[in-house]
Amino acid sequence: MTQYLKFAIIIALSLLQTRATAQTVQLFYVNPNDTVFVFGDKINIREKPASDAKSVTQLNIGEMLIVTEITETQTTLNNLKMPWYKVRFKGQQTGYVWGGLISVTGLQKVGDVQFVTGIVKQNTVTQTDESLTDYQVEMRAIKGGAIVHKVNTKITGSGYFHPMETEIGARGLKGYKAILGVTLSFDACGYPWNDWQVLWDGKQLSSLPVCVSVADGGVFSHTERYVFPQPLNDYETGHFGDESLLFFAIEHNEREEQEDGSWDENSWVRARLMKKVGDNWVKPKNMNEPKQ
C-alpha cells in the first residue's frame, strides 16, 4: 500500500465520522458567558429560536454578543445545521441568534480593521463510493462597521474550528502587514488538521491554499506548510531569500514494520514556489513523492 493511499484512507475515515456526528454538535467552541461576534451583515436577533420568529432588532457585522444559553433547537440553512444561541447584547437586551451567523474565530484585529470568519455553506460531495463533507468558509475584513474585503475557501475536515494567532509583519513577506487564519481539527491521532491562512496587505485579503497535515502513532506523518522569508519561531524555517517569494512545502514520513522485525522507512521533503492569481495564492503542481 502506498503512502498516498494510506493518507487518503485516514482522511476518508475521519470525514465519514464527521458526516455522522458534526451536524449534531457545535462546529466551534461556545459556552455560556462566552463573548462571540456577529459574522453576518445586518442579522436579525429573534424573539424565539426560529428563523420565522419575530425580529427583536438587527445587528451589524462585528458586533459583540454574550452567550447566555445554548439551545437544543437546530436549524439548517445552506445545508449547514447549527444550534440557536440565546444572547445578551447592548447592555441587557436579549434574543436568539442562529449559530451560522456567528464568527468561528471571534474577532481578530490589525490596526483599525477587524476580521471575522464564518461558515457560509456546507455540502455533501460524492467521490467514488464515499460521501464527504465540505465547508465553504469566508473571512471578512471590517472597517467602520462595513465589509471592505472578503475571501473564501473550501475546507474538508472534521472536528472544531479554532482561530489561528494573528501574525503582525507576515513573516517578512513583502507587501503584507499580517497573517490571519483558522484551523479545522480534531484532537486525536490519525485525524487531519486543516490550516487556512490569509494574508492582509492593509486593503485586501489574499487567500492561501489550505494546508492538510496528519500523523498517526509515530509511523506516519504528512505535513503541509508555507515557507516565508522569515521563520515564525525557532522551530520553523524561513527561506531568507527574496522577500517577495513564498513557497509551499510537504514533509512526509512513513515507517512500516517488516516480517523480520525491521522497519522500512520512507521520508522526503519537497518545496515549490507559489504564484499569486487574482486575490489568491495557488498551490504549485508536482508536489508528489520525488522519484527515487
Question: Distance between CA 117 and CA 163 in Å, rounded?
Answer: 9
**Mean pLDDT within 208-235:** 87
pLDDT of residue 29: 86
In the three-class reduction of DSSP (H, G, I as helix; E, B as strand; rest coil), residue 270 is classed as strand
First to last CA, the chain: 17
Q: Tell me: the pLDDT tens digits for 140-196?
A: 999 988 999 999 999 988 788 999 999 999 999 999 999 999 999 876 666 788 999
**Total-model pTM:** 0.84
pLDDT of residue 133: 74
Residue 268 has pLDDT above 80, yes or no: yes
- Report the amino acid identity of residue 39: F
Candidates 114, 86, 83; CA nearest to 100 is 83
